[in-house]
Structure 1
Amino acid sequence: MPQPMIDPFGREVSYLRVSVTDRCDFRCVYCMAEDMTFLPKREVLSLEELDRLCSAFIEKGVRKLRLTGGEPLVRKNIMSLIRSLSRHLDSGKLEELTITTNGSQLSRFAQELYDCGVRRINVSIDTLDTAKFKTITRWGDLGKVMDGLRAATAAGLKVKINMVALKGVNEHEIVQMMSWCHEQGYDLTLIETMPLGEINEDRTDQYLPLSTVRERIASEFTLTDIPYKTGGPARYVSVAETGGRVGFITPMTHNFCESCNRVRVTCTGMLYMCLGQDDSADLRAALRASESDELLNDAIDEAIGRKPKGHDFVIDRQTRQPAVTRHMSVTGG
């Protein structure tokens, strides 16, 4: 067995999130500007390079791999990468291969994802109101996403819905979303908006503390903290009345850095040891400098040795600029 990757604070890095593209067919208001300029093709890792990079991390002890974007399923020939990576599931080196998606392409790919060993997906939906969905995503079609969810369920994929809590936008729909998710057999994870990238919006107008949301839910439902984990930062509760689970991702009100086991790689091969810090390592240069993985492994080891203790997210009227300038779609959701 390989030696585990241990950061300076004794945390084992066993979870890798990889953005396979910065492109998306939505333009969600908290994630992207509407008029985005995307990366030129030469800067984006090829599918073969992404396979090699992910495989190197797996050899170094990564057990959970999540492919993200942008929207990962809009990447041309993405299923060839997923099919290739599934060999690590077959060998037992990888415990789980998962996808975060907006759901727009699930009708096309759900069955193939299952056939490639994917058993669980995260789907981002912030409202069940068709008009509001269009407003939040700018380009999205809720009906198409619902078709995709049905295809995912039919294929045997377990679905978790991710909902970004936005003040004055969807805050009064959260209980409705929870009830709907649990009726469908989906878990729900609520996420605080994060100060990433210029978005043409004032995030102080969007930010809704999940501590407030939890209090509102608890006034109507019986919530019990449970130790359930999926490998990510969500803290889960069970809801007695619905029999379902709700997770809370709270980078602002209660950060989860003390147990962070994750690193992220962008579609350009930049390794970010922390979502909320700008420190990074250029793995693309190491990939392209040699056909062997020696330089790549050295670059990974050096970077893990710089993983910080935590992030410094702030959203307030005085701190109007994003904590980091890169968009969430670049780093990977």
Structure 2
Amino acid sequence: MIDPFGRRISYLRVSVTDRCDLRCVYCMAEDMTFLPKAEILTLEELDRLCGAFIGLGVDRIRLTGGEPLVRKNVLSLVRSLGARIGAGGLHELTLTTNGTQLVRMAGDLHAAGVRRINVSLDTLDPATFAAVTRWGKIEPTLDGIFAAKAAGLAVKINAVAMKGVNEDEFDRMVAWCGEHGFDLCLIETMPLGEITGDRNDQYLPLSTVRSKLRERWTLQETDYTTGGPARYFTVAETGGRIGFITPLTHNFCESCNRVRVTCTGTLYMCLGQDDSADLRGPLRNQDLDREGLQQAILEAISRKPKGHDFVIDRVRNRPAVSRHMSVTGG
């Protein structure tokens, strides 16, 4: 699949649920209204949809949410997709999670073919963790991270940088990740969905964070990439890697190779744009075969924009895109 700007689309992020067992302040409103079951694709439909994308050249799939591991029987989907890893199929199947379910599921994920996961962890402080997640306890996430490591999964820690919340913790997180062999990726807060509070108060440019980190750590340029938008450095003192995702201070759209499908079958060609395509209709249309579904996908890819329009709106104080991150998938 080639988009209008010559970019090969090879990476699909699939949200398997809009639900989550936490309520992170940058991701969800405190009182969320979740989608009715009838609107959600079945796991079998998600598998068929992923198969159509694989047939069109997608070789990397990431399962997201909400929290993907709270979806009942989600491991059946993971196993089915894991069976597609190999020549002519997937190069990699990965997962983004908050870690709360990993103690019981890490071994099954590895057995199904997953080798690398991202775990959202914005802080190592229990009180700050509870405040950011609104009701979460840090212990299940930490236990899950170490269960994943023990199961043989490579772990990357994702942390959203928030002014006045965790900006004084990044030195500690670099050291902790280096000690335990985890990569660390810092992410600028993105203007997605109505949240409680003012995003202007949350926004922390990662250019500032990187400058401050360099006062203690030697950040060496590297060409390492996972196929996503992060720019990585090696931390000389620990040997670990740190990545920076900067949708606001540096637009990374020129190399975008990904699209996102929600748990309702809506395809978003860009995280920061509202244009979308309904794939649930073609999936559930008994008169439409796989080729017809693939044609619907290709038509949508032909509309993929050059880039997003993320900006922190300081005048009207409203998000660039109205849907929450949990709806689109991280």
Q: Give TM-score scaled by structure 1 length.
A: 0.97
2:143 is aligned to: 147
* 2:323 is the counterpart of 1:329: no
2:62 is aligned to: 66
**Contact in 2 for aligned 1:287/1:295 (Cα 8 Å):** no
**Equivalence map 1:23-34=2 (5 Å):** 23-34=19-30
Deviations 1:178-209 (A, max 9, x none): 11011110000000000000111210000000
- Structure 2 distance, partners of 1:48, 1:91, is 23
1:318 is aligned to: 315
Distance apart, 1:91 and its partner CA: 5.1
- Structure 2 distance, partners of 1:331, 1:96, is 21
* 2:202 is the counterpart of 1:215: no
- Structure 2 distance, partners of 1:90, 1:140, is 38
1:100 to 96, 101, 104: 96
- Where 1:189 maps in the other structure, the secondary structure is strand
1:10 to 6, 11, 22: 6
- Where 1:321 maps in the other structure, the secondary structure is coil
**Contact in 2 for aligned 1:25/1:139 (Cα 8 Å):** no
1:206 is aligned to: 202
- Structure 2 distance, partners of 1:252, 1:234, is 13
**Contact in 2 for aligned 1:58/1:93 (Cα 8 Å):** yes
Distance apart, 1:219 and its partner CA: 1.4
1:304 is aligned to: 301
- Structure 2 distance, partners of 1:67, 1:75, is 11
Query: Which residue type is aligned with residue 187 of structure 1?
Result: D
1:294 is aligned to: 291
**Contact in 1 for aligned 2:100/2:141 (Cα 8 Å):** yes
* 2:268 is the counterpart of 1:272: yes
**Contact in 1 for aligned 2:313/2:319 (Cα 8 Å):** no
1:169 is aligned to: 165
Query: Which residue type is aligned with residue 287 of structure 1?
Result: L
Find runs of 4+ consecutive structure 1 residues off by over 2 angstroms.
none
- Structure 1 distance, partners of 2:316, 2:63, is 31
2:242 is aligned to: 246
* 2:228 is the counterpart of 1:232: yes
- Structure 2 distance, partners of 1:295, 1:283, is 11
Distance apart, 1:79 and its partner CA: 0.3
**Contact in 2 for aligned 1:158/1:186 (Cα 8 Å):** yes
Query: Which residue type is aligned with residue 244 of structure 2?
Result: F
- Structure 2 distance, partners of 1:316, 1:22, is 25
Q: Which runs of 5+ in 2 are unaligned?
A: none
**Equivalence map 1:56-135=2 (5 Å):** 56-90=52-86, 92-135=88-131
Query: Which residue type is aligned with residue 21 of structure 1?
Result: T
Distance apart, 1:295 and its partner CA: 2.3
- What is the percentage of aligned positions where both structures have the same residue? 71
More displaced, 317-326 or 202-211?
Answer: 317-326
Deviations 1:199-254 (A, max 9, x none): 11210000000000000001111111111000100000111111111000000000
- Where 1:150 maps in the other structure, the secondary structure is helix
More displaced, 139-148 or 66-75?
Answer: 139-148
- Structure 1 distance, partners of 2:313, 2:328, is 23
Deviations 1:240-275 (A, max 9, x none): 111111000000000110000000000000000000
Distance apart, 1:86 and its partner CA: 1.2
Distance apart, 1:139 and its partner CA: 2.3
Q: Give TM-score scaled by structure 2 length.
A: 0.98
Distance apart, 1:294 and its partner CA: 2.5
Q: Which runs of 5+ in 1 are unaligned?
A: none
